[in-house]
Amino acid sequence: MIKKYVIVISFLFAFFLPISTMAISLNQTVKPFSGQEITSGKAMDMTDIIGEKPVMIIFWASWCPNCKEEVPKINQLVEKYRDMGMAFIGINVGFNDSVKRAQTFMAQTKMQYPVIFDKGGRVSKQFSINGVPTVIVADRKGVVKFKNYGLPTISDDDFKELLNN
Protein backbone atom coordinates (compact mmCIF):
# COMPACT_ATOMS: atom_id res chain seq x y z
CA MET A 1 0.00 0.00 0.00
CA ILE A 2 2.78 2.45 0.92
CA LYS A 3 4.64 1.66 -2.32
CA LYS A 4 1.53 2.52 -4.33
CA TYR A 5 1.19 5.78 -2.42
CA VAL A 6 4.82 6.70 -3.11
CA ILE A 7 4.45 5.83 -6.80
CA VAL A 8 1.27 7.92 -7.11
CA ILE A 9 2.85 10.86 -5.28
CA SER A 10 6.02 10.61 -7.39
CA PHE A 11 3.92 10.64 -10.57
CA LEU A 12 1.90 13.63 -9.38
CA PHE A 13 5.10 15.42 -8.40
CA ALA A 14 6.56 14.88 -11.87
CA PHE A 15 3.29 15.93 -13.52
CA PHE A 16 2.80 19.16 -11.57
CA LEU A 17 6.42 20.23 -11.65
CA PRO A 18 7.06 20.59 -15.39
CA ILE A 19 10.48 20.85 -16.90
CA SER A 20 11.43 24.47 -17.34
CA THR A 21 13.04 25.69 -20.53
CA MET A 22 15.59 27.34 -18.26
CA ALA A 23 16.57 24.01 -16.68
CA ILE A 24 20.03 23.73 -15.22
CA SER A 25 22.19 21.00 -16.72
CA LEU A 26 25.81 19.89 -16.66
CA ASN A 27 28.40 22.61 -17.29
CA GLN A 28 25.89 25.41 -16.80
CA THR A 29 26.21 27.88 -13.95
CA VAL A 30 23.86 27.64 -10.99
CA LYS A 31 21.46 30.56 -10.93
CA PRO A 32 21.38 32.27 -7.56
CA PHE A 33 18.46 31.65 -5.24
CA SER A 34 17.75 32.52 -1.66
CA GLY A 35 15.57 31.28 1.13
CA GLN A 36 15.20 30.94 4.85
CA GLU A 37 16.72 28.00 6.72
CA ILE A 38 13.75 26.23 8.31
CA THR A 39 15.20 25.41 11.73
CA SER A 40 17.21 28.56 12.50
CA GLY A 41 15.33 31.10 10.37
CA LYS A 42 18.69 32.30 9.05
CA ALA A 43 18.67 33.79 5.54
CA MET A 44 20.54 31.74 2.94
CA ASP A 45 21.69 33.19 -0.37
CA MET A 46 23.55 31.33 -3.13
CA THR A 47 25.36 34.55 -4.07
CA ASP A 48 27.34 34.06 -0.83
CA ILE A 49 28.50 30.64 -2.06
CA ILE A 50 28.98 30.90 -5.84
CA GLY A 51 32.54 31.99 -6.50
CA GLU A 52 33.58 31.06 -2.97
CA LYS A 53 33.19 27.30 -2.54
CA PRO A 54 31.80 24.17 -4.19
CA VAL A 55 28.26 23.26 -3.22
CA MET A 56 26.07 20.18 -3.03
CA ILE A 57 22.35 20.93 -3.32
CA ILE A 58 20.09 18.11 -2.20
CA PHE A 59 16.39 18.21 -3.20
CA TRP A 60 14.26 15.97 -0.98
CA ALA A 61 10.88 15.39 0.64
CA SER A 62 9.86 13.87 3.99
CA TRP A 63 7.66 11.28 2.26
CA CYS A 64 10.53 9.98 0.09
CA PRO A 65 11.97 6.64 1.33
CA ASN A 66 15.13 7.03 -0.78
CA CYS A 67 15.73 10.47 0.71
CA LYS A 68 15.82 8.90 4.16
CA GLU A 69 18.45 6.40 2.96
CA GLU A 70 20.62 9.16 1.45
CA VAL A 71 20.86 11.39 4.55
CA PRO A 72 23.48 9.30 6.41
CA LYS A 73 25.63 9.19 3.25
CA ILE A 74 25.33 12.95 2.82
CA ASN A 75 26.11 13.47 6.50
CA GLN A 76 29.37 11.54 5.96
CA LEU A 77 30.28 13.89 3.10
CA VAL A 78 29.37 16.89 5.28
CA GLU A 79 31.68 15.64 8.03
CA LYS A 80 34.50 15.09 5.57
CA TYR A 81 34.26 18.14 3.29
CA ARG A 82 32.46 20.99 5.08
CA ASP A 83 35.53 22.07 7.04
CA MET A 84 37.56 21.80 3.83
CA GLY A 85 35.32 24.38 2.16
CA MET A 86 32.31 22.66 0.60
CA ALA A 87 28.81 23.98 1.20
CA PHE A 88 25.78 21.71 1.57
CA ILE A 89 22.20 22.93 1.14
CA GLY A 90 19.06 20.84 1.42
CA ILE A 91 15.93 21.94 -0.42
CA ASN A 92 12.68 20.40 0.73
CA VAL A 93 10.64 20.54 -2.47
CA GLY A 94 7.50 21.51 -0.54
CA PHE A 95 5.27 19.30 -2.69
CA ASN A 96 2.84 17.34 -0.49
CA ASP A 97 4.94 18.31 2.51
CA SER A 98 4.99 20.87 5.31
CA VAL A 99 7.63 22.70 7.29
CA LYS A 100 6.67 20.71 10.38
CA ARG A 101 7.04 17.35 8.59
CA ALA A 102 10.34 18.52 7.09
CA GLN A 103 11.64 19.51 10.53
CA THR A 104 10.57 16.16 12.00
CA PHE A 105 12.31 14.31 9.14
CA MET A 106 15.46 16.39 9.69
CA ALA A 107 15.50 15.56 13.40
CA GLN A 108 14.80 11.84 12.86
CA THR A 109 17.53 11.48 10.24
CA LYS A 110 19.96 13.76 12.13
CA MET A 111 20.47 15.88 9.02
CA GLN A 112 23.68 17.90 9.41
CA TYR A 113 23.15 20.55 6.76
CA PRO A 114 20.84 23.55 6.42
CA VAL A 115 17.52 23.21 4.60
CA ILE A 116 15.28 25.65 2.77
CA PHE A 117 11.57 24.81 2.46
CA ASP A 118 10.63 25.48 -1.18
CA LYS A 119 7.04 26.62 -0.70
CA GLY A 120 5.50 27.02 -4.14
CA GLY A 121 8.33 25.09 -5.82
CA ARG A 122 10.19 28.14 -7.16
CA VAL A 123 13.69 26.72 -6.65
CA SER A 124 12.64 23.20 -7.68
CA LYS A 125 11.24 24.58 -10.95
CA GLN A 126 14.40 26.62 -11.54
CA PHE A 127 16.43 23.39 -11.36
CA SER A 128 13.79 21.27 -13.18
CA ILE A 129 13.48 18.78 -10.35
CA ASN A 130 11.30 15.89 -11.48
CA GLY A 131 11.88 13.51 -8.60
CA VAL A 132 13.57 13.20 -5.26
CA PRO A 133 16.21 12.81 -4.13
CA THR A 134 17.97 14.86 -6.78
CA VAL A 135 21.51 15.98 -6.08
CA ILE A 136 23.37 18.77 -7.85
CA VAL A 137 27.07 19.39 -7.30
CA ALA A 138 28.65 22.60 -8.55
CA ASP A 139 32.28 23.65 -8.44
CA ARG A 140 33.57 26.79 -6.74
CA LYS A 141 32.51 28.93 -9.71
CA GLY A 142 28.99 27.52 -9.60
CA VAL A 143 29.38 25.30 -12.69
CA VAL A 144 27.26 22.14 -12.42
CA LYS A 145 29.43 19.02 -12.45
CA PHE A 146 26.79 16.50 -11.35
CA LYS A 147 22.99 16.35 -11.50
CA ASN A 148 21.19 13.08 -10.95
CA TYR A 149 18.94 11.10 -8.63
CA GLY A 150 20.90 9.94 -5.64
CA LEU A 151 24.34 10.76 -4.39
CA PRO A 152 27.57 10.88 -6.41
CA THR A 153 30.76 9.24 -5.25
CA ILE A 154 33.20 12.02 -4.36
CA SER A 155 36.86 11.19 -3.90
CA ASP A 156 39.44 13.56 -2.45
CA ASP A 157 40.70 14.16 -6.01
CA ASP A 158 37.17 15.03 -7.17
CA PHE A 159 36.83 17.43 -4.27
CA LYS A 160 40.17 19.13 -5.09
CA GLU A 161 38.97 19.59 -8.67
CA LEU A 162 35.73 21.17 -7.41
CA LEU A 163 37.77 23.58 -5.29
CA ASN A 164 40.26 24.45 -8.03
CA ASN A 165 37.80 25.19 -10.82
Candidates 110, 67, 90, 88; CA nearest to 159 is 88
Tens-digit pLDDT profile for the chain (165 aa)? 565 544 444 444 444 444 433 467 888 999 899 999 999 999 999 999 998 999 999 999 999 999 999 999 999 999 999 999 999 999 999 999 999 999 999 999 999 999 999 999 999 999 999 999 999 999 999 999 999 988 887 888 888 788 787
Q: How many CB atoms lie within 10 A of CB 57?
A: 25
Ramachandran area for residue 79 (φ above 0: left; ψ -120 to 50: alpha; else beta): alpha
Q: pTM, whole model, 2 decimals?
A: 0.83
Domain ranges of the chain: 2-164
Question: Is the CATH number 1.20.1730.10 carried by domain 2-164?
Answer: no
